[in-house]
Amino acid sequence: MDLQSFEKIVKNENTAKKFLLHFCWKNHQRFCPKCRSRRIYTLQGGRRRCGRCAYTFHDFSQRFINNGNITCQQWLRLIKLFELEVPTGRMAEQLSVSYNTAYKSVTTLRMAILAHSLDASLIIRSIEGLGFGKSGKFHLDVSSKVGGRMPVFGIVERGPHVFADLIPELDEDNIVHFKMNFHLKTASLGKIIYTDQFKQYSALLVGGSRLSATYNIKHADKGLFIDSSKGFWSYSKEWFRRLKGISPRNFPLYIKELEFRYNHRTQDIFPILAKYLCDLVPDFED
């Protein structure tokens, strides 16, 4: 979306809300976000109550957008800045909110992207602290200080698309084991360690700060399979170099953001991000 069209939708809080609401409610038809019943009573203050399960809700209840406490105008500005890959600190300045608020909102957007990926359910169930609650709220503290087991992702390229699949049976120690005992080549890129071809994957990726600190091993092999990949890898290199702190919880969010950006690189991602943000938070526990 170009800036002229963008300015029209962020003109005021009403225009911004109207733009977001059309992603939430097709043809303005409200239904209960819990049981999907259309038997709805209107209450005061824009709230509604379900005639079947008695759940009381507002227009954004149970949706990603209900996480992070910012206005509709701020959400749209945040999506625009995210589209342009503005770092979180600069977003906070531009939106006149605290760093923490900007961080939580941008994490919400990344959670929405992750939830729309093919292996979302596996990731949500495997990574501690990334779960979604029944209320549609989730943990937003995925800072780089959080510990745990660093997940490993395998890269599969299929024509113009790339899939970064979580491989739940592997962790960073396995990568070291493969390197030491089976001569799997490894190299580093910013805070990321990547490997040579492994089974059906053109590379394995793992967050590497602890990997380099714990084991006194250099990850500087040459001629890895993915180094010759023109598509995804040349796109990703700069992106990985910019990543700062990586934790077991935020690594999947970054990987899924990259997968999303790459697979939508020829599209306008602004309306896609707005739609993702307005979708209901899925219940992966069922």
Could you tell me the smallest distance in angstroms from the CB atom of residue 207 to Zn ion? 41
**CA–CA separation, 220 and 194 (whole Å):** 10
* DSSP 8-state symbol, 198: B
3-state DSSP percent of the chain in helix, strand and coil, to 5? 45, 15, 40
37 touches Zn ion (CB under 5 A): yes
35 touches Zn ion (CB under 5 A): yes
Binding-site member from 20, 50, 170, 175 for Zn ion (CB under 5 A): 50
What would you measure as the largest C-alpha separation in the chain, in angstroms? Answer: 67
Could you tell me the smallest distance in angstroms from the CB atom of residue 285 to Zn ion? 19
Binding-site member from 43, 53, 118, 180 for Zn ion (CB under 5 A): 53
Q: Which stretch binds Zn ion (CB under 5 A): 53-61, 222-230, 241-249, 278-286?
A: 53-61
- Reading the block at residue 82, the tokens are 């995210």
Binding-site member from 10, 30, 31, 34 for Zn ion (CB under 5 A): 34
Say how many C-beta atoms besides its own lie within 10 A of residue 16's C-beta: 19
- Closest CB to Zn ion among 55 and 284? 55
152 touches Zn ion (CB under 5 A): no
- Reading the block at residue 157, the tokens are 């390229």
* DSSP 8-state symbol, 173: H
Could you tell me the smallest distance in angstroms from the CB atom of residue 32 to Zn ion? 3
Q: Which stretch binds Zn ion (CB under 5 A): 49-57, 74-82, 116-124, 255-263?
A: 49-57
Distances (CA, A) of 233 to 17, 75, 229, 244: 38, 31, 6, 19
Helix (H, G, I), strand (E, B) or coil at 40: strand
32 touches Zn ion (CB under 5 A): yes
Could you tell me the smallest distance in angstroms from the CB atom of residue 54 to Zn ion? 7
55 touches Zn ion (CB under 5 A): yes
Q: Which stretch binds Zn ion (CB under 5 A): 25-33, 103-111, 168-176, 258-266?
A: 25-33
Could you tell me the smallest distance in angstroms from the CB atom of residue 165 to Zn ion? 36
Q: Tell me which residue of 207, 222, 231 sits closest to 157, measured CA to CA.
A: 231
- Closest CB to Zn ion among 32 and 277? 32
Q: What phi and psi values does residue 17 have, to the nearest 5 degrees?
A: -65, -40
**CA–CA separation, 112 and 118 (whole Å):** 13
Could you tell me the smallest distance in angstroms from the CB atom of residue 31 to Zn ion? 8
Q: Are 66 and 107 in contact (CB under 8 A)?
A: no
Could you tell me the smallest distance in angstroms from the CB atom of residue 59 to Zn ion? 15
Positions in the binding site for Zn ion (CB under 5 A): 32, 34-35, 37, 50, 52-53, 55
